[in-house]
């Protein structure tokens, strides 16, 4: 630190990450300023003694601020959470970036808990309804958002603070308020309004109907024909086959409109082949045309939602067996796609695995794959809007989980095939079909049970000796008193050591 008589040189301003919005820049500068002032005013033992520029560098490294490194969807969610939180903080006339909870005195800690608890109803009543209420509500009645959606905003705010080194209070008071709101919500709209809204799994029949939409069918916007024979059409067909047999998510096979395709995404380098028992990372046309049963398309998993660094599943390839006639066969689709794209061996790492509508090697976008899927699905379902609304691209993933369950695959096998980080996800995605569920009940009906429990078996009444019972009670009481005294002594010893008394202490 400079001496009192030494002139203070001008401190540099914080360096914000590039590509951030004005609001993100403002939050970042505020966090750095707070951290810097804490370091500058610190006079406790071990305080930093370097000049203010070094302190500023430490503050910048500690608070971070590289929000652009998150997935685009996460960035949007964070901004939405913080917008709601900042509106609430403006209402209370408080700083939205809260102080570190652990450094506060008890009264201030209680205040922070109250601030977060009161935020829940404030945010909740201002959330915009998203869908129509079910019967018997009048037609056109909009269903309020679920209370847990407001709780999710608070958790997002808590995570935002934690990501930048700020400890926040536990949300048990807010969780209690959320529970109360959910009870009211249930009573007003019924428990069915609180159920998770998830898409149904596609069926084998629907997927086949999608893949069999006639080439040239005028299903695209403005009556334009859909062409499977184009480069784009072949890419989409391959993508559908791959999603159905790998359970890949939309974000894994297609690029978000606001993001750029990069090395973290699927490229032709991720697609390998096992032909005739030998590895073929760069297959020739002759090899692809000679594929037969026993050969495989091998896909190395790219970065994903559950494995952002590719460290969990990156060494566990997706093995796609070739079959010449199966309706859904990703290996056969990939062979056709390889023959269409004809990517040079030295370009495979830099070429997206799935191409967009331009057909020139640019990455397939999520908007493009969603548009193609929705139009093809509508045609496959004879334009039944209510039925089509049950499905999305994520239904491919649910289809594979449900189909593997029906095929009596184990939970661990399904988890490995769909690359889930935990077995709990299986409970959300895999659905038991009616025939399997019904077979459980039919088999159960055939079992002959006695339903006899141990407590129902005849037994003699116990013989109780009053003197023995009294003696056992007194012995137990003595043991408890001894254990309590030992606990008191251990507590007194620990308290003495904390106060600096060393080992010299006296039992009273």
pLDDT digits 0-9 by tens, 112-154: 999 999 999 999 999 988 777 766 777 777 888 889 999 999 9
With left for phi above 0 and alpha for psi between -120 and 50, is residue 259 left, alpha or beta?
beta
In the prediction, which pLDDT does 91 show? 94
In the prediction, which pLDDT does 340 show? 95
**Separation of alpha carbons 89 and 357, rounded Å:** 45
Selection from 278, 286, 282, 275 nearest residue 343 by Cα: 282
Rounded to 10 degrees, the C-alpha dihedral 260/262/265/270 comes to: 150
3-state class of 186 per DSSP?
Answer: helix
Cβ partners under 8 Å of residue 361, min gap 6: 341, 351, 352, 355
**Separation of alpha carbons 54 and 466, rounded Å:** 79
**Separation of alpha carbons 399 and 174, rounded Å:** 37
Residue-wise burial string across 132-152, b where 16 or more C-beta atoms lie within 10 A, e elsewhere? ebeeeeeeeeebbbbbbebbe
- Residue 2 buriedness (CB in 10 A; 0-12 / 13-18 / 19+): exposed
**The overall pTM is greater than 0.75:** no
Cβ neighbour number for residue 33 with a 10 Å cutoff: 16
Residues of the chain with pLDDT under 50: 1-9, 503-508
- Residue 4: which H helix or E strand, with range? none
Selection from 90, 272, 70, 252 nearest residue 156 by Cα: 70
At 53, list the tokens: 């520029």
DSSP calls for 225-285:
PP-TTSHHHHHHHHHHHHHHHH---HHHHSB-TTS---TTS-BGGGEEEEETTEE-SS--H
Selection from 397, 373, 418, 271 nearest residue 331 by Cα: 271
Count, residues in the chain: 508
- Residue whose structure tokens are 């408890």: 480
- Residue whose structure tokens are 């652990």: 102
**Separation of alpha carbons 246 and 414, rounded Å:** 11
**Separation of alpha carbons 478 and 155, rounded Å:** 49
Contact in structure between 22 and 16 (CB atoms under 8 Å): no
**Separation of alpha carbons 64 and 46, rounded Å:** 23
Report phi then psi at 219, rounded to 5: -105, -10
Cβ neighbour number for residue 235 with a 10 Å cutoff: 26
- Alpha helices in 361-456, H assignment, sequence order: 366-380, 385-388, 395-406, 411-418, 424-429, 434-445
Contact in structure between 123 and 151 (CB atoms under 8 Å): no
The verdict on domain 204-441 having CATH code 3.40.630.10 is no
**Separation of alpha carbons 161 and 27, rounded Å:** 11
At 128, list the tokens: 């915009």
**Separation of alpha carbons 111 and 169, rounded Å:** 10
| Cis before 136? omega within 30 | yes
Domain ranges in the chain are 70-194, 204-441, 469-508
CA dist list (Å): 436 to 204, 401, 403, 448, 503: 17, 14, 11, 21, 68
């Amino acid at each position: 630190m400079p001496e009192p008589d030494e002139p203070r040189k001008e401190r540099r301003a914080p360096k914000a990450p590039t590509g951030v919005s004005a609001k993100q820049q403002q939050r970042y500068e505020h966090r750095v300023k707070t951290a810097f002032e804490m370091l500058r005013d610190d006079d406790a033992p071990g305080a930093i003694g370097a000049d203010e520029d070094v302190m500023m560098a430490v503050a910048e490294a500690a608070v971070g601020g590289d929000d652009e490194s998150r997935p685009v969807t996460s960035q949007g969610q964070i901004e939405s959470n913080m917008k709601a939180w900042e509106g609430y903080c403006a209402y209370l006339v408080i700083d939205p970036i809260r102080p570190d909870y652990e450094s506060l005195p008890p009264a201030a800690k209680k205040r922070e808990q109250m601030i977060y608890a009161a935020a829940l109803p404030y945010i909740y009543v201002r959330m915009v309804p998203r869908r129509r209420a079910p019967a018997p509500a009048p037609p056109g009645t909009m269903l309020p958002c679920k209370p847990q959606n407001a709780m999710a905003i608070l958790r997002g705010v808590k995570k935002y603070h934690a990501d930048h080194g700020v400890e926040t209070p536990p949300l048990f008071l807010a969780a209690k308020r959320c529970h109360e709101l959910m009870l009211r919500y249930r009573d007003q709209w019924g428990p069915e309004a609180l159920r998770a809204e998830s898409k149904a799994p596609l069926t084998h029949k629907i997927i086949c109907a999608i893949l069999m939409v006639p080439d040239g069918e005028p299903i695209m916007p403005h009556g334009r024909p859909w062409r499977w024979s184009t480069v784009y059409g072949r890419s989409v067909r391959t993508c559908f086959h791959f999603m159905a047999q790998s359970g890949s998510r939309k974000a894994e096979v297609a690029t978000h409109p606001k993001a750029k395709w990069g090395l973290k995404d699927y490229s032709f380098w991720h697609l390998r082949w096992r032909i005739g028992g030998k590895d073929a990372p760069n297959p020739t046309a002759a090899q692809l045309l000679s594929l037969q049963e026993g050969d495989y398309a091998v896909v190395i998993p790219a970065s994903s939602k559950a494995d952002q660094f590719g460290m969990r599943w990156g060494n566990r390839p997706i093995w796609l067996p070739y079959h010449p006639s199966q309706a859904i066969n990703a290996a056969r689709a990939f062979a056709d796609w390889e023959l269409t794209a004809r990517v040079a061996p030295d370009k495979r790492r830099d070429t997206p695995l799935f191409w967009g509508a331009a057909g020139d090697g640019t990455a397939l976008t999520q908007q493009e794959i969603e548009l193609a899927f929705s139009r093809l699905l509508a045609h496959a379902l004879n334009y039944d809007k209510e039925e089509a609304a049950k499905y999305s691209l994520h239904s491919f993933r649910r289809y594979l989980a449900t189909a593997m369950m029906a095929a009596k695959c184990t939970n661990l096998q399904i988890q490995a095939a769909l690359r889930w980080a935990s077995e709990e996800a299986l409970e959300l995605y895999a659905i038991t079909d009616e025939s399997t569920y019904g077979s459980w009940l039919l088999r159960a009906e055939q079992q002959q049970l006695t339903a006899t429990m141990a407590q129902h078996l005849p037994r003699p009444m116990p013989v109780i000796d009053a003197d023995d019972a009294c003696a056992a009670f007194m012995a137990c009481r003595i043991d408890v008193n001894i254990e309590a005294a030992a606990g008191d002594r251990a507590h007194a010893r620990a308290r003495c050591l904390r106060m600096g008394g060393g080992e010299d202490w006296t039992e009273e």
